[in-house]
Structure 1
Amino acid sequence: MARDTVVARIGKAHGLRGEVTVRLHTDHPEERFRPGAVFTWDGADAPAAPAGLDQLTVASARVHNGIWLLSFEGCADRSAAEALRGGRLRFAVEEDNTDGWYEAELVGLQVKDVSGEVIGEVMGLDMGAAQDRLDVRLTDGRRGLVPFVEALVPVVDVPAGHVVIDAPEGLFDLGLGR
């Protein structure tokens, strides 16, 4: 069974020929972003997006200084590229994926400490250059980012609806809260 998931978020325009930077949400960008690949367009967070746009087709994909740059059919200049900023590219993926978790699977999961006490809820996944971080809203309303590594997040149980965080003392007191 397939479901729709975000594979990239569009950043700023690059150059004058319609390229955009993208923030990746996939481990296999070279497979996903081939010319001709079609993505469902989610422009809810792109205030300047053209009305009626529901799909984007990759015209070119390349890496420049470690940053993925994409261009899309029908997006030939900087103004068109800038209008896409903030939008998301979605793609149907199979449910039986075992390579990791997608943000859509994690959002809304309860966050428990190692003793089983509920301490918050997952609000999102912050994709970092070195590692991803879980965006957690604690029960007292504070928010913090927890490195999404096995040492700190030893259990991710999507069917049971929770993650377990083995947070070192003071993790949420280090100025990481928002």
Structure 2
Amino acid sequence: MTDTRIIVGAIAGAFGVHGEVRIKSFCADPEAIGDYSPLTSEDGKTTYNLTLTRAIKNGFAADLEGVTTKEEADALKGVVLYAERDVLPSLPDDEYYHADLIGLTVLDTGGAVLGTVSNVLNHGAGDLLEVSGPALKASVLMPFTMAVVPTVDLASGRIIADPPEGLFE
């Protein structure tokens, strides 16, 4: 939880010929990305003042301050957008920003270290924690459900897991 920024979307290229961009929102409420402006690039050096103009297929069309041509908009394709954590809404006790879970140590219910969360994935059926570690031959994808992960302790930097039998063998 040391980073003060959270990924909220990405620029998918130009939309039209007047400098609008296509925005992919990674927010639970996709339209909320417009509320978090100004957004920054991954390195934090570039700031984007974003105004959503309309919903389009797979995202939104948006105006970025200072971008007036299709060529300028196309040049921004692939830029990942970050918002400051303090402008994002507080989450209920049982919900977490993915960025907060990455790097946490995963322990089993007996206290043995299983690995570290290296990524959080969602392929449509729910979140999966990708757990990596020196004792593992390959990363393990563990369901992020209350049954498998009963405890997330952000303050201590750990997760207590009760993985299905054989998952970590």
The aligned amino acid for 2:22 is V
Task: Give 1:154 shift.
Answer: 1.3
The aligned amino acid for 1:85 is G
My pick for the range that moved more, 134-143 or 160-169, is 134-143
Aligned residues: 160
What is the aligned partner in structure 2 of residue 4 from structure 1?
A: 4
Query: d(CA) in 2 for partners of 1:131 and 1:78?
Result: 38
RMSD (CA atoms)? 3.2
Specify which of 113, 119, 142 is matched with residue 118 of structure 1. 113
What is the aligned partner in structure 2 of residue 88 from structure 1?
A: 81
What is the aligned partner in structure 2 of residue 103 from structure 1?
A: 98
Per the normalisation by structure 2, the TM-score is 0.73
Please give the secondary structure, in 1, of the residue aligned with 2:85.
strand
Q: Percent identity?
A: 23
Please give the secondary structure, in 2, of the residue aligned with 1:42.
coil
* CA 55–95 in structure 1, closer or farther in 2 if over 3 Å, else same: closer
Query: d(CA) in 2 for partners of 1:83 and 1:96?
Result: 27
List gaps (5 residues or longer) in structure 2: none
- Matched-pair contact (CA < 8 Å) for 2:14–2:70: no
Per the normalisation by structure 1, the TM-score is 0.70
- Matched-pair contact (CA < 8 Å) for 1:12–1:85: yes
Specify which of 19, 22, 26 is matched with residue 21 of structure 2. 19
Please give the secondary structure, in 1, of the residue aligned with 2:163.
coil
- Matched-pair contact (CA < 8 Å) for 2:13–2:75: yes
List gaps (5 residues or longer) in structure 1: 45-52, 174-178
